[in-house]
Structure 1
Amino acid sequence: MGSRMTKPTGFNVIKGILAAFFPHVFEFFRIPIFPSFVTKFFQDLIKETISVREKNNIIRPDMIHLLMEARKGRLQHETISSFYQDTGFATVEESSLGKSGKKMELTDDLITAQALVFFFAGFDTSSTLLSFLSYHLAVDQKIQTTLQKEIDNVTKLGDGRVSYEELLKMKYLDQVISETLRRYPPGFMLTRICVKDYKIEAKRNDEVDFVLDKGTLVGIPVAGIHLDPRYFPDPEKFDPDRFGDENKANIIPGSFLPFGSGPRNCIGSRFALLECKTLVVSLLSKFDIIVIKKTPFPLLLSKTFNLAGREGIWLGLKKREKF
Structure 2
Amino acid sequence: MMLLLGTAFLGLLIWYFLLKPMQYWKRLGVVQTNPIPLFGDSWRILFRTMNTKDFVEFIYNLYPTERVVGFYNFTMPTLLLRDPELIKQIGIKDFEHFADHPPLIDPEADPLWSKNLLSLSGAKWREMRRLLSPTFTSSKIKAIYVTMEEAARNFATYFKERKDEGIIELEVKDIFTRFTNDIIATTAFGVQVDSVREPNNTFYLMGKKMTDFSGFLNIFRFLIGQILPKFAKACGFRVINAKSAEFFSEVIDESVKQRENNQIKRHDMIDLLLEARKKQESIDGNPITNLDITSQACIFFFGGFETVANVMTFGAYELATNRDVQDKLREEIKTNVSNDGKVSYETLQEMKYMDMVISEILRKWPPFPVTDRICTKPYTIKALDKNSKDIPILLHQEVQIPACAIQNDPKYFPNPQKFDPERFSEKNAKNIVPYSYLPFGIGPRICIGNRLSLTEVKLMFFYLLLNCEIVTIQKTMTPPILTKDIFASIEGGAWLGIKYLK
Shared fold (TM-score, shorter chain, > 0.5):
yes
The structure that is helix-richer by fraction is 2
Kindly report which structure 2 residues correspond to 1:70-149, keeping only aligned pairs within 5 A, or say none. 70-73=276-279, 105-149=287-331
Which moves more between the two structures, 61-70 or 172-181? 61-70
Aligned partner of 1:5 among 192, 210, 213 = 210
CA shift, 1:12, in A, is 2.8
Q: Which residue of 2 aligns with 1:14?
A: 220
Residue 252 (structure 1) aligned with residue 433 (structure 2): yes
Opposite residue 261 of structure 2, the aligned amino acid is K
What count of residue pairs does the alignment treat as equivalent?
296
| Cα contact 1:12–1:33 (8 A) shared by 2 | no
* Secondary structure in structure 2 of the residue aligned to 1:253: coil
Question: Aligned residues: percent identity?
Answer: 40
CA distance in 2, matches of 1:237, 1:207: 35
Kindly report which structure 2 residues correspond to 1:20-31, keeping only aligned pairs within 5 A, or say none. 20-23=226-229, 31=237
Q: Which has the higher contact order (CA 8 A, sep 6+)?
A: 2
Which moves more between the two structures, 233-242 or 266-275? 233-242
Are the structure 2 counterparts of residues 23 and 230 from structure 1 closer, same or farther at C-alpha, using a change threshold of 3 Å? Answer: farther
| Cα contact 1:71–1:105 (8 A) shared by 2 | yes
CA shift, 1:215, in A, is 2.2
* Secondary structure in structure 1 of the residue aligned to 2:499: strand
CA distance in 2, matches of 1:161, 1:70: 35
CA distance in 2, matches of 1:245, 1:158: 29
Kindly report which structure 2 residues correspond to 1:132-171, keeping only aligned pairs within 5 A, or say none. 132-155=314-337, 157-171=338-352
Unaligned 5+ segments in structure 2 are 1-205
Are the structure 2 counterparts of residues 37 and 259 from structure 1 closer, same or farther at C-alpha, using a change threshold of 3 Å? Answer: same
Q: Which residue of 2 aligns with 1:212?
A: 393
CA distance in 2, matches of 1:31, 1:313: 31
Opposite residue 370 of structure 2, the aligned amino acid is M
CA distance in 2, matches of 1:27, 1:251: 44
| Cα contact 1:191–1:220 (8 A) shared by 2 | yes
Which moves more between the two structures, 16-25 or 105-114? 16-25
Opposite residue 342 of structure 2, the aligned amino acid is R
Larger Rg: 2
Q: Which residue of 1 aligns with 2:273?
A: 67
| Cα contact 1:12–1:34 (8 A) shared by 2 | no
Aligned partner of 1:39 among 245, 254, 262 = 245
Q: Kindly provide the CA deviation profile for residues 133-158 of structure 1, in whole angstroms up to 9, marking residues without a partner as x.
A: 01111111100011001100001x44
CA shift, 1:307, in A, is 2.5
CA shift, 1:205, in A, is 7.8
Which moves more between the two structures, 160-169 or 14-23? 14-23
CA shift, 1:29, in A, is 8.8
TM-score, normalised by the number of residues in structure 1: 0.84
Q: Which residue of 1 aligns with 2:261?
A: 55
Residue 288 (structure 1) aligned with residue 494 (structure 2): no
CA distance in 1, matches of 2:242, 2:335: 49
Q: Which residue of 2 aligns with 1:229?
A: 410
CA distance in 2, matches of 1:254, 1:307: 24
Root mean square deviation of aligned Cα: 2.4
| Cα contact 1:189–1:221 (8 A) shared by 2 | yes
CA distance in 2, matches of 1:122, 1:25: 30
TM-score, normalised by the number of residues in structure 2: 0.55
* Secondary structure in structure 1 of the residue aligned to 2:469: strand
Kindly report which structure 2 residues correspond to 1:296-315, keeping only aligned pairs within 5 A, or say none. 296-315=477-496
CA shift, 1:197, in A, is 3.2
Are the structure 2 counterparts of residues 131 and 41 from structure 1 closer, same or farther at C-alpha, using a change threshold of 3 Å? Answer: same
Opposite residue 152 of structure 1, the aligned amino acid is K
